Amino acid sequence: MRKVFVLVNSYQPRPRRLYKPARFQVETDLMRSFSKIHYYAASVVTLLTGFRRPFQILSIFLNRPGALPAEVALRRAGWRFQIRAAMDAWIIKETCLDADYLWASGPLKPDWTVLDIGAGLGDFTIFAAKQCPQGIVHAYEPLAKSFTLLQHNLALNSIHNAQVFPKGVASQPGMLAVDAAKVEAVSTRFASTNEGTIPALGLSQVVDSLPSGQCDFLKIDCEGCEFDMLLNSPPETLARIHRLSLEVHDGFTSHSSYELVEYLQQQGFRVARQPNPVHTHLSLLYAER
């Protein structure tokens, strides 16, 4: 009998109460509005200057007939990606041009061992493999269409120091319930209903499979499953992870990014949090021992 589990965490944070005067809320809303404008303006410039064919990128975002699917290439690095949606190009911009996952750290070291959980179309896998030519990248992507795209993009860029696995990752091995109605090419949202299931390995197994049993850099983007994965994994597993960078999704579960910050600090990490400039439910966390 297959085990299907949902995201329930045993970690219990201290209660938190926040008081926000009305003036503070108005000031916050204004700052966020300016932040959005600045972010989108800067992103347009990056998209048009960071890719080799700016008119192709314009066609993709203007939804011109025949613009998708497409192969796009980065101007400086020359890396190529097959994409199926405009959001794919946006994700490549954030990962490879903005280097979002390295926002609070330096570059990856050439000999590092890297884990990419929620590899999607392969943006960070390729980024890490290129930065770590003497190292290795293990990439996990459970969705069949995304996994095929991942494999294609690795071959397109002649990546030989990455191993890919068509599985999800959680705190323990089993089957994860996935909301099939919300599956996209590069992401999935995990739900408590058994509309569909995907196989998942435990984080401990994933770290065990690395050549040294140690992870120099862990990247996570798994649409809310980060809470189960980190809060419920054994502390001794987290002790073998030296750095981690992830996108945190508030509102998908009963847990919050602040809980994750507190818990990682309890596990011996120094943690930095950066709110998303556009979406209040998203933030980036970086943690380092």
CATH number at 185 reads 3.40.50.150
Q: Which region, left, alpha or beta, applies to residue 286 given φ > 0 means left and ψ of -120 to 50 means alpha?
A: beta
Domain holding 178, by residue range, is 4-14+98-288
The count of residues in the chain is: 289
Looking at the domain assignment, is residue 282 inside a domain? yes
Closest to 232 (Cα-Cα) out of 255, 215, 258: 255
**Do residues 254 and 6 lie in contact, with contact meaning Cβ atoms separated by under 8 Å?**
no
What are the pLDDT digits (tens) for 251-267? 888 999 999 999 999 99
pLDDT above 80 (res 164): yes
Q: What residue has token string 């980065």?
A: 74
Looking at the domain assignment, is residue 66 inside a domain? no
- Euclidean distance between CA atoms 265 and 261, whole angstroms: 6
Closest to 121 (Cα-Cα) out of 158, 94, 154, 99: 154
Report the predicted TM-score, pTM, of the whole model to 2 decimal places: 0.86
3-state secondary structure of 72: strand
What are the pLDDT digits (tens) for 41-68? 999 999 999 999 999 999 999 999 999 9
Q: What is the pLDDT of residue 223?
A: 82
Residue 247 is inside which H or E element, if any?
A: strand 243-249
Looking at the domain assignment, is residue 169 inside a domain? yes
Domain count of the fold of the chain: 1
Mean pLDDT computed over 131-154: 96
Looking at the domain assignment, is residue 42 inside a domain? no
pLDDT above 90 (res 30): no
Looking at the domain assignment, is residue 85 inside a domain? no
Close Cβ partners of 265 (under 8 Å, ≥ 6 residues apart): 271
Q: What is the pLDDT of residue 253?
A: 87
* Residue 2 vs residue 13, higher pLDDT: 13
Torsion 231-237-242-245 (CA) sign: negative
pLDDT above 60 (res 191): no
* Bond into 69 cis (ω within 30): yes
- Euclidean distance between CA atoms 35 and 278, whole angstroms: 7
Average pLDDT, whole number, for the chain?
87
Looking at the domain assignment, is residue 142 inside a domain? yes
Q: Model confidence at 118, in pLDDT bands (50, 70, 90)?
A: very high
Looking at the domain assignment, is residue 249 inside a domain? yes
Residues of the chain with pLDDT > 70: what percent?
82
Q: What is the pLDDT of residue 23?
A: 55
Q: What is the pLDDT of residue 176?
A: 81
Secondary structure tally for the chain: helices H, strands E: 9, 13
Q: How many other β-carbons are positioned within 10 Å of the β-carbon of residue 74?
A: 17
Q: What is the pLDDT of residue 179?
A: 60
**Do residues 56 and 67 lie in contact, with contact meaning Cβ atoms separated by under 8 Å?**
yes
Instruction: Measure CA 255 to chain center.
Output: 18
Looking at the domain assignment, is residue 30 inside a domain? no
